[in-house]
Structure formats: structure tokens, C-alpha cells
Structure 1
Amino acid sequence: MEPSDVDAPLSVLLVHVWYWPHIGGGNQHVEHIARQLVARGHKATVWCADIPEHDEKQFVRDGVKVIRLPPKRVLGGIDPVVSIKNLDMNFDIVHLHDTLPVLIRRSLKRARNKKIPVVTTFHNDYIKTSLSGKILKRIRWALQGRRTLQASDARIALTPYYANHLKNRGVSKRIDVLPNGFEPVAEDASRPSSLPADSEDIPLLVFVGRLSEQKGLDVLMDAWDLLCQQGEPKARLAIAGSGELNEWLEQRIASSAYPDSIAKLGRVEDAEKRWLFEQAKGVLIPSRFEGLPTVLLEAMHAGAPAVMADVNDLGRLVTEPNAGLSVSPGDSQDLLKAINRLLEADDAQIKTWSENGHEASKPYLWSNVVDDLLNVYRRVRT
């Protein structure tokens, strides 16, 4: 690449199994990158599996060309088998998001054959508890995951923890650390209509995320039950999101000693999420594992003190800037202590956490993250 080409527009292919309208952190990550690239005058194309099935298989959304690939079958319920042999691959950069899926590995092979530079982002690890699951995970990593990263021209981890994790698992080449980013909600804050009318009169604690064990919903409910054992809570817990534990959550709320202290909101719009963060005395994130949760960054930027489970070293993101509290993952007693500290904190402490969190979130704005990503793209093209 000639020096005069440094700022030339790029044609970038982003590959991820999931994309809009699928809801999830990974596909939102890809969508934000694509939109930022287009805003800078670059071309962005996304390849993804057609899950859930969408009427249009090819369309343009926010300036991003999207190609949805119907799967022949889905391995293990999570890995769609798709064909890319009839797709044009005339790109300057191929950016893979994940290491294991069929779509990722086939895209890598095509790009290598065409000598197109490949960048791969490792988003997070996954947990297997059974012996057979652990063995299969090791085999897939050795035969697929590590090979994908080693064969790429650049490798990206979202946090220093994951960079070290990859090195310890045999990735010997350079790993760049580029965090997950976020965009502040542009819409004016809007109070969720499903929230009880008296919620402004008492402290509000908020959980926003998928209703799942991964996100620690059971840990949260166990901690809230412990709080209820101390007497009627002088706070309301608002739970926003949907997921596989939806019915389970309804049953847990019904069996609570103080069911009126919990508000199940379902999925909320961005404007409603902004309202929750701005009004919350604390945002609770008791996840069992994460890459870098967008909800943490959004909450900090909105000025909400955060309680973050110290999984994969994420606790330091709130403790180092004094923006909230860190708790042990899976520990409902520890989460209860943090909830009590939030509720007992005076206005000065809340103000300190709020202001520090807002400042600490700024480097994670998508505009800053994509500036660094473009430097990686240009480096692998030289």
C-alpha cells in the first residue's frame, strides 16, 4: 500500500453468524463497527446466517450491505451450516467475529485463497461443565479456534484478560486489545410504562440483559430473597430483558416474600433503557461470564453506579476508576453486601461513583474504538 493510500476508502467484509434483527451483544458489536465505517466513507458488507429467517436475504440497512445466508442445517443448535461459494469476495479486508463457526472458517479459507488480509476478533469464551463437553471444547479449540486465530493477519481481544487467555492457550502471534464499544442513546429518556407509578419515590436498582444463567439472573434473585429476609426492601428491583428464564423469573417473583418490590419489564426500548440508567441508584451485572458487556459501559456513561461481577477481570473496570463495586461471580451473599452498600450510600458517594463512571466510559465510545480498528486494518494491508 502506497503512503498516499493511508486514508483511502476501504471495502470491508464483516462476518458473524448473527446479525440484525437477532438481538445479542456480538451482532450489535458488528453492527456498530459497520455503521461507523460507513459514516467515515468506507464500504461495509455483512455476511451472516439467516437466523431468525428474514424475508429479505440481501438488503441495505444504515448504509451497510447485508447478505443473509440460509442454513442447510444447524449443528448443535448454534452453528448454522451455510454456503458462501457463490458469493463475491472482492474486499480489502475480511474481519471475522468468532473463531469456531462453519461460516467463519469457510470465510477464512476463501480470504486466504484470494490473499485478502484477515482480522479476527475473539469475543469471549464459553463454559462447559460436563466432562464430555470440556473434552469437545478442547478438541474444537485445537482444531478450529486456535487455527483460525493463528491463520489471521491480526487478532483482536476485547480485554487484556482475554489477550492473556489466548496466549495461555497457544496463540503465539501478536494480539491487539480493542474493547467493545458503545453509543449513548440518542433518544430522550422515556419512563417504561410497565414500571409501577411509585418507582420514583424509592431507590431503583436495575438489571438489563438476557434472562439467563450466564447473566447471573438466579444469583440476582437469590440475593434479592436474602434482602427480603431483612424485612421489606426499601428499594425496587427493575428487571429488563427477555430470555430462556422468562417463565422461571415469573415464578420466582410470585414466590418472593415481597413480590411488589420487583418489576419485570420485559424488553425495553433504548429510550426506556436510558431512563432506567439515569434514574437508577445502581445497575446490577452479576454475570457468570462475559467478554465486555455493553450494558456496563452504557450504565457508566449514563451516570449509574455499577455493581459488576469480577468475571474475567471485569471488576477492575468499576473499582479502578471508583465507579462502583465489584462482587464475586455466582456469590449471592457478596451481591447482597453490594446491594446494601448501594442503598446505604449517601448522595456524595453516589455522585462520586456517577461522575467517575461517566469519565471512565469515554474511551469505549465507538468513535474512538473504530479509530483504533482502522489502524489495525491499515497495518495488515501494508
Structure 2
Amino acid sequence: MASPARICYTFIGSIAHDSRARRMLQSLSNEYNVHAVICLRSGEEDAGVEGIDIHPWRASGTDRFRSMVFKFWSEGRRIAESTKADVYIAGDLYTLPAAANAAQRTGGALVYDSRELYSALASLERRSLTQKFWNFIERRYARRAKAVLTVNHSIAEILRGTFRKTPVFVVHNYPDADNSTQPSGTADRQILRTRLNIPADRSVLISNGGIQAGRGAFIALDLVAALEDVHLVFLGSGPLEGELRFRAEADGLADRVHFLQMLSTEVVKFTAGADIGLCLVENRSMSYYLSLPNKLFEYLHAGLPVVGSNFPEIRRVIEENKLGTALEPTDGKALLRAVEKLLHDKPYHAICAQNAREAARKYTWATEEENLQELVRDVVEERNS
């Protein structure tokens, strides 16, 4: 019996805290011998994924992001080559050159996961030369790929126009639906409040994911300032956390604004302790405007009504499933009205929560896993034919 094909996955950051990377690796490990070559900052750790061979490369404490990435293109490529994989999957743009060159040197096939619209990043909205550099890198190396993956159909259409000769496939980042990651009853729904000492009679708003510019963190802070006795939980971390904590303290909100970081496998259970999920992405770039954030589906699986941005992908999920309200995130008055309606109109809240639980059944990783496995299977067969 032939041994299973070898897959090498490259990625910047901790897999244990990245739901998409973890799910993809776990799914592929069911059929293949999977290696992950990851780039970690100095002092950053990764708990790993069961059944996956993790090969970490750590940057020095003095490396800035760009320097770290450039070094990984050489060092990460060398480690990736040593796996002698049949297929190399670049889990992001920043490790794409390392994966592409390793594939070229070893005769492996390349797959590129464009997990966001890298050609229009919000973080580079005022840094046009840097954006042009990354656009060049993406075009140069992605054209070698046998397939490009992305997270939703709006971004896929743009990528098909960019990579005309390379097929583009959608693999949504929907949550797991197994019992180990889902809230199972009243006890699970209290773990968030217990951990943060939030009284049972207080309402809780939650904002999951990275605390970064354009993700609505300060909009959420202004919102909770206008709501009496309502708590706000940021379930995640990021570069704006320090500034956000300072603002909360300065505004007298420190006792009602909480910060917590979880492994990706625990997020839905903790989210279930809130009353409303906030998905207030700001229109700072085309990448954000067309985004379909993980948090939206975490809220569904936690059974939460949602108030989110009136952007194409987010609006479609909210309105098709009657989860709450899609609105312009910078319209503070409309946002306050939408949240107050959910907090004070209990029957309406109950209907939206039930709709969320029902919608969660169709937004699960199981279907996406099948699509991913079929795609990689085709690439492996073509490479070995």
C-alpha cells in the first residue's frame, strides 16, 4: 500500500490561535502526512495541532514584521524543502514566496490560500508603495499555483480577474460543529460571565477577533458608553488593545469593558455567554468591505443575534437568516437603536437567537472540509500522474 502524500503548509503566526489554519490542517491530516512550517515572533509559542508535524522558525526579538517575513522566505523555504512534500500550501501571502520556491525546487505542486483581499489591505490604505510591492509579490508567485483558495464569493470574483489562468475556489471559514466546540447548555453559557465576574442580570455585548484598526473596536466602546449597565467583551487581542484599555479607563468604563483571549477551539463556548454579537467592520478598504468575518459565524453557533455592517457579504448573512440588523457602522444613533431594540424587546431577541441557531446548521466546516479535501486530492493526483 502506497504511503500517503505529503502536504507542507506555511503560515505566519500561531496555528493554535488561528481557526482557519487549524481546521485546514486537521482536515488534511485525515488523508495526508501533513507538515506545517510556521513563522513565529520571538517569544511566541504554538500549542500545535494533534497529528501535525510542526516546524517552527522564530524571528529574533529585534526583527520588524517586514524583516521577519523576508528572512522567512529564505529560512522557511529551506525548512519547507526538507519536508519533500507533494503539495505546498501557502496559508497566507506573506509565506507564499517560501512555499512557491520550495515547490519549484522539489517538484511539488503549489496551492495558495488568499485568506483576504491582499491587493486592498486596510492596513496599507495610506502606504501605496508597500501595497504595490505586495501586489507584485502576489502576482509573481500565485501564477505558479495549481489552485487559489479564498474565503468568499465576492473576493473570488476579483481574484479570478487577477489570476486569469489559475482556478479560484471558495473554502469558507465556517466553525466546527462537533460537540467539543459548541455550547451544550446553561452551564456552558455561563462560563464567560463566571470568568469575567459579570453579574447574571447584566446584558453583554461581544466583539470577537483581532483588535485592529477598522474592526469597530472604538465604535463598540462608544456604544457601550451610551448604554447603562451593559458590559462589553473583546474576545481576542491585537495592536490596539493597549489604547482601547486606556480609553475605557479614561471614560470610566473599565469595570464594564473586558478583554479575554481564547484558543480557537474555545471561542464559541465563551461567546455563548453574551447577548448580542457585534460585527462592526469599517469601510476602510475593499478587503474589509467584502469581508466575511469569522466572528459572524461564531455568533451564529453561539446562538446570538447580530448587529453588523451593511456590507455585501455580512448583510447577506444577517438579512437572509433574520439575525438582527445590518447598518452603517459609523451611524452611532442607528447602532444604538438596533442594540437597544434587541436588549429591550425580548420576543424579538428570542426570534433572532433562534434564527441564529438554525442558520448555524448550514454554516459548518463539514461541507467546506469536503471541498478542501477534494481540491487537494485533485492536485495530488495531477502532480503524481
Question: Structures share a fold, TM > 0.5?
Answer: yes
1:152 aligns with 2:151: no
Q: How many residues align?
A: 358
Distance across 2 between alignment mates of 1:373 and 1:37: 8
Q: Give the aligned partner of residue 27 of structure 2.
A: 36
CA deviations over 1:228-266 (Å, ceiling 9, x no partner) = 4xxxx2533333333333332233223436665x23143
Instruction: Give CA-to-partner distance per residue, 1:180-236, whole Å, 9 cap, x none.
Output: 1322525862244453452x21332222333332321011122333x24xxxx2533
Task: Name the CA distance, whole Å, in 1 between partners of 2:70 and 2:312.
Answer: 28
Aligned pairs for 1:162-311 within 5 A: 162-169=155-162, 171-184=164-177, 185=181, 189=188, 190-198=191-199, 200-225=200-225, 227-228=226-227, 233=228, 235-256=230-251, 260=255, 262-268=256-262, 273-274=267-268, 276-288=270-282, 289=288, 291-311=291-311
Question: What is the deviation of 1:327?
Answer: 2.4
Contact 2:90 2:113 in 1 (8 A): yes
- The structure richer in helix per residue is 2
Evaluate the alpha carbon distance shift between residue 191 and residue 98 of structure 1 in structure 2; reply closer, same or farther with a 3 A threshold. Answer: closer
Q: State the alpha-carbon separation in 2 of the partners of residues 55 and 170 from structure 1.
A: 35
Give the distance between the partners of 1:255 and 1:55, measured in 2 at CA. Answer: 33
TM-score of the pair, normalised by structure 2? 0.80
CA distance in 2 between partners of 1:270 and 1:15 (Å): 19
Q: Contact 1:192 / 1:272 at 8 angstroms: preserved in 2? A: no
Aligned residue runs from structure 1 range 32-111, under 5 A: 32-38=23-29, 40-53=30-43, 61-71=49-59, 73-76=63-66, 79-82=69-72, 83=75, 84-85=77-78, 87-99=81-93, 101=94, 103-111=95-103
Query: Match for 2:85: what amino acid?
Result: F
In structure 1, give the amino acid aligned to 2:248.
Answer: I
Deviations 1:254-284 (A, max 9, x none): 3436665x23143356797545533432111
Distance 1:130 1:203 in 2: 36
Q: Does the 8 A contact of 2:35 with 2:83 survive in 1?
A: no
Structure 1 counterpart SS, 2:313: coil
Equivalent residues in 2 for 1:291-370, closer than 5 Å: 291-311=291-311, 313-347=313-347, 349-370=348-369
SS in 2 for 1:124: coil
User: For residues 198 and 59 of structure 2, what CA distance do their matches in structure 1 show?
Assistant: 46
Identity %: 16
Contact 1:16/1:98 (CA < 8 Å) preserved in 2? yes
Deviations 1:118-162 (A, max 9, x none): 21111113225665x123312431x21123322210111100111
Give me the CA root mean square deviation. 3.2
Structure 1: how far apart are the matches of 2:324 and 2:100? 41
- Looking at structure 1, the residues matched to 151 and 42 of structure 2 have their Cα atoms a distance apart, in angstroms, of 27
Structure 2: distance between partners of 1:364 and 1:330? 28
Amino acid at match of 2:307: V
CA displacement, residues 95-132 of structure 1 (integer Å, 9 cap, x when unaligned): 11123x2x32122122134332221111113225665x
* 8 Å Cα contact 1:191-1:272 kept in structure 2: no
What TM-score comes out, normalization by structure 1 length? 0.81
